[in-house]
Structure 1
């Protein structure tokens, strides 16, 4: 581990993630954490952790950004004391809170994301298990990531800002200055590359997730979400086909005939099995 991003989501973490990739760093963002390391994170949330847990989780990773790792930056830094820490900043708390609330609402409003919790085995066994802890542990906001049917989460803006303020202040006070960079995406490549001691790329500094539009882009390009989307489509097709077949038999034969067909088949089943043995 070389770089730990200690900044909250919606402070430019997706842009930093893209920038680190351009600089050649193998970087884990939320989706990598929630898919590759979901079991480890569930264990951390439910039972606690050791420094060795984080050392094992990130031994082959160069950099980490976004949820839930940013909240555990200090624990990761204990495992990798030579890593550098970057704290992403916004212009003020209200701007960050507005952006966070908008992102949560966009995610809540995605029918596909809601379906993934039920129809994608990958999403159900990884992302959907990690999500609830993000609200209760990281945001101090139990309702934030519980996507319950037919309702919107209650968002306490003042509590969010309190968490944001306390987290940032703690990072500033506890990272050694030579290992620490406070950074805004508007700063561009120069301070980041100087801090990391790497050459400045020819490409423009990335600007991802402007106005929260990253969700649609990820659904179209991210391999983890694309796999989950395919599983939703496959599960939907199977459900539709099964429902159609059941509906056809119900319509053409009626409940009574279906019942007699099933019971008749069940009566002959022992004879069939005996014949085969």
Structure 2
């Protein structure tokens, strides 16, 4: 592990995932964490974990973003003492409004609901969400219900407390406080890597466009979509056989 992005979701974590990937890092974001390590995280939630667990889970991963690793940044920093820590920050009100917008977007995406309800990968994701979304103050994780946040005051307090904890507890020589609109220069300087030439800094999930972007770019989401189409094909075939048998 080389980089721990400790910023909460909706502080530019999807942009950080894309930026770190462009810099050559093997990055685990939300999708990778649930797909490859979901069972480990559920065990940590139920029974707890130790430093050796985190070392095993991320021994071949260069960087992590999003939940739940951002909520366990301190344990990860202890497990990987050479890793650098990046706290992505954002205006509190803009962050909260963006969280609300993201929940509305996900709640209204019926393709996503079908993928979560009718595919094996989707079911794995639902089980993981019960844990990971709970860390963020998000309730109602069943695919057909609307995602809702805890009350605004509690969410704002959680946001401030998380950022304050990172600022107070992270070693200063390992920490970068960063806004994604600052672009490549401060990030690359902190990581001691060259700035990509002729490549603009990525800005992802603008306007809560997460699902559309993932369906174009993320292998796990694309695989989940294919599983859904296979499910529908099987259902259609079975219904056709039944109709032929009983009505013709």
Equivalent residue number for residue 18 of structure 1: 18
Number of residue pairs aligned between Structure 1 and Structure 2: 246
Give unmatched runs, 5+ long, in structure 2. Answer: none
Distance 1:142 1:210 in 2: 23
Q: Measured at CA, do residues 127 and 148 of structure 1 come closer, stay the same or move farther in structure 2, by a change above 3 Å? A: closer
Q: Deviations over 1:216-261 (max 9, x none)?
A: 0211221111111011000011112212322333334xxxxxxxxx
Instruction: Check the 8 A contact 2:15/2:203 in 1, yes or no.
Output: yes
State how 1:160-199 maps to structure 2 within 5 Å.
Answer: 160-199=155-194
Distance 1:147 1:195 in 2: 40
Distance 1:33 1:102 in 2: 23
Instruction: Check the 8 A contact 2:139/2:147 in 1, yes or no.
Output: no
How big is the shift at 1:46? Answer: 1.4
Distance 1:119 1:142 in 2: 21
Equivalent residue number for residue 66 of structure 2: 66
Q: Measured at CA, do residues 65 and 148 of structure 1 come closer, stay the same or move farther in structure 2, by a change above 3 Å? A: closer
Equivalent residue number for residue 108 of structure 2: 109
Choose which of 201, 204, 216 in structure 1 pairs with 2:200.
204
Equivalent residue number for residue 87 of structure 1: 87
Instruction: Check the 8 A contact 1:108/1:147 in 2, yes or no.
Output: no
How big is the shift at 1:214? Answer: 2.6
Instruction: Check the 8 A contact 2:17/2:65 in 1, yes or no.
Output: yes
Equivalent residue number for residue 223 of structure 2: 227
Equivalent residue number for residue 27 of structure 2: 27
Equivalent residue number for residue 142 of structure 1: 139
SS in 2 for 1:85: strand
* TM-score w.r.t. length of structure 2: 0.95
Equivalent residue number for residue 233 of structure 2: 237
Distance 1:141 1:107 in 2: 12
Pick the structure with greater CA Rg.
Answer: 1
Equivalent residue number for residue 152 of structure 1: 146
How big is the shift at 1:110? Answer: 1.2
Give unmatched runs, 5+ long, in structure 1. Answer: 253-277
Runs of 4+ in 1 over 4 A off after TM superposition: none
Q: Deviations over 1:59-115 (max 9, x none)?
A: 11111001111111111111001111000011x211001101111111111111111
Q: Deviations over 1:27-81 (max 9, x none)?
A: 1111111111111111111111011100000111111001111111111111001
